[in-house]
């Protein structure tokens, strides 16, 4: 990938809360002054996981100090297994013990797990305090940090408790992506593949050969911005962001969550493309080209499970409503459409 992108790009998201998303390099060194613009003088509660803490927390704390902030820090063990009621409760207690008030600001530094859980803490503590997202994985930069969905998991399923709460600012420093293990980077590329099928600009960027990662982050967020601005609370258009997610949910479930989310989404996209081709929604040529775009993102992508099993496991998806489930079908690049099908027909549909 080349890196000839201009320094800092800004996307303004106009949802129930309005905020900027900044995309660039070397932004962590200036994070204190960037936060000052949206939070003013206040106390900062920094929430991060142990991996990201070791990599970036000192830099962030130094910049906060240079901007005149007093900051307290909460660190929890990395990974999806931490996104639970227990750690969420610990964050709330930490905020209370440190006398964080309604005028203070929470800063979430890390991947989607940190962002989702810290965001939910910010949404619920004192009925809502300001928060800033500093996403450090590709998945969290292109997807989870923007749009205001916050959540934690319950033993019975992922993201079952949460709230919509828009951040005050999102800062995507793409330099942080350089420390990501390859598999975690590829995981984010699974979500990028989804954007490629939803948005022609992302599709042509990915199919066009070399590109700067900042550009992929920028275009993906800009697509998500358009969706969130039109349908913040997911009553219509935002459902398109679930493209590939119904089979992905089944795949993650069957693997006991050892296949990561973005990788499962990429497998889910292949399944949906196949189903869309078989139903005559896309031509053979388009089908092959779109499969190739997914492959360009994640490489070889072989799903280890049979469709029947995936369909059964997918039925615990919260997008299911009664006897029906909504699947997003592909009719072309940037032409994806929700399709409501009977739960009992899902396996047949996905074959
Ligand atoms: N809110 C939304 O709209 C939304 C959308 C998609 C996904 N999600 C959620 O996002 C979560 C997945 O996010 P994720 O993939 O970022 O997982 P994650 O937060 O668990 O991060 C993956 C791993 O990478 C490590 N890491 C993070 N940044 C790093 C860096 N710069 N260098 C090295 N290691 C780093 C983390 O410590 C962790 O071990 C899931 O819980 C999912 O439900 C939310």
Instruction: Give the model confidence (pLDDT) of 159-197 as tens digits.
Output: 899 999 999 999 999 999 999 999 999 999 999 999 999
Instruction: Answer yes or no: do 42 and 189 share one domain.
Output: no
Instruction: Answer yes or no: do 152 and 250 share one domain.
Output: no
**Ligand 1 centre and the CA of 117: distance in Å?**
11
Q: pTM here? A: 0.94
Instruction: Answer yes or no: do 197 and 345 share one domain.
Output: yes
**Ligand 1 centre and the CA of 178: distance in Å?**
15
Instruction: Answer yes or no: do 169 and 28 share one domain.
Output: yes
State the residue range of the domain holding 329.
Answer: 183-350
Eight-state DSSP code of residue 323: T
Whether 1 is in a domain gets the answer no
CATH number of the domain where residue 108 is located:
3.40.50.1970
> Which of 179, 208, 243 delimits the end of a domain?
179
Instruction: Answer yes or no: do 204 and 325 share one domain.
Output: yes
Distance in angstroms (rounded) separating the CA atoms of residues 349 and 326: 12
Whether 237 is in a domain gets the answer yes
Residue 4 scores a pLDDT above 60: no
- Beta 70-76 vs 43-49: how paired, if at all? parallel
Tens of pLDDT along 79-105?
999 999 999 999 999 999 999 999 999
Catalytic residue (choose from 84, 159, 229, 234)? 234
Residue 191 among the catalytic residues: yes
> Which of 147, 179, 211 delimits the end of a domain?
179
Instruction: Answer yes or no: do 172 and 207 share one domain.
Output: no
Instruction: Answer yes or no: do 22 and 148 share one domain.
Output: yes
> Which of 179, 197, 218 delimits the end of a domain?
179
Instruction: Answer yes or no: do 90 and 236 share one domain.
Output: no
Probe residue for ligand 1, chosen from 25, 56, 139 as the CB with the greatest number of ligand atoms within 8 Å? 139
3-class DSSP string for 93-109: HHHHHCCCCCCCEEEEE
**Ligand 1 centre and the CA of 177: distance in Å?**
12
C-beta of 142 in contact with ligand 1 (< 6 A): no
Q: What is the dihedral of CA 79, 240, 212, 174, to 10 degrees?
A: -30
Instruction: Answer yes or no: do 226 and 162 share one domain.
Output: no
Instruction: Using the atom order of ligand 1, give the atom closest to the CA of residue 79.
Output: 20
Residue 234 among the catalytic residues: yes
Instruction: Answer yes or no: do 21 and 146 share one domain.
Output: yes
Distance in angstroms (rounded) separating the CA atoms of residues 321 and 27: 42
Whether 322 is in a domain gets the answer yes
Tens of pLDDT along 299-336?
999 999 999 999 999 887 666 778 899 999 999 999 99
């Amino acid at each position: 990938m080349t890196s000839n992108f201009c320094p800092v790009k800004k996307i303004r998201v106009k949802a129930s809360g309005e905020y900027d998303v900044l995309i660039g390099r070397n932004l962590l060194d200036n994070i204190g002054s960037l936060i000052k613009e949206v939070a003013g003088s206040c106390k900062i509660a920094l929430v991060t996981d142990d991996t990201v803490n070791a990599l970036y927390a000192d830099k962030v704390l130094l910049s906060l100090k240079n901007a005149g902030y007093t900051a307290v820090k909460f660190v929890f063990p990395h990974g999806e297994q931490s996104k639970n009621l227990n750690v969420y409760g610990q964050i709330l207690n930490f905020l209370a013990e440190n006398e964080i008030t309604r005028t203070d600001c929470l800063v979430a530094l890390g991947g989607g797990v940190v962002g989702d859980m810290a965001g939910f803490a910010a949404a619920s503590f004192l009925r809502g305090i300001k928060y800033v997202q500093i996403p450090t994985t590709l998945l969290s930069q292109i997807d989870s940090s923007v749009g205001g969905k916050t959540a934690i998991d319950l033993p019975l399923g992922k993201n079952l408790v949460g709230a919509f709460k828009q951040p005050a600012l999102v800062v995507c420093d793409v330099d942080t992506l350089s420390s990501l293990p390859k598999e975690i980077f590829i995981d984010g590329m699974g979500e990028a593949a989804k954007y490629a099928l939803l948005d022609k600009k992302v599709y042509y960027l990915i199919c066009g050969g070399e590109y700067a990662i900042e550009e992929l982050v920028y275009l993906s967020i800009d697509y998500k911005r358009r969706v969130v601005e039109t349908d913040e609370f997911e009553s219509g258009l935002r459902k398109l962001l679930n493209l590939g997610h119904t089979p992905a949910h089944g795949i993650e479930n069957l693997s006991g969550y050892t296949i990561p989310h973005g990788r499962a989404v990429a497998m889910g996209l292949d399944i949906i493309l196949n189903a869309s081709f078989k139903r005559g929604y896309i031509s053979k040529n388009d089908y092959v080209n779109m499969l190739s775009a997914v492959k360009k993102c994640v490489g070889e992508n072989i799903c280890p499970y049979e469709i029947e099993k995936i369909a059964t496991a997918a039925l615990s998806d919260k997008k299911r409503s009664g006897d029906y489930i909504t699947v997003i079908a592909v009719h072309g690049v940037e032409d994806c459409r929700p399709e409501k099908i009977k739960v009992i027909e899902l396996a047949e549909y996905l074959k």
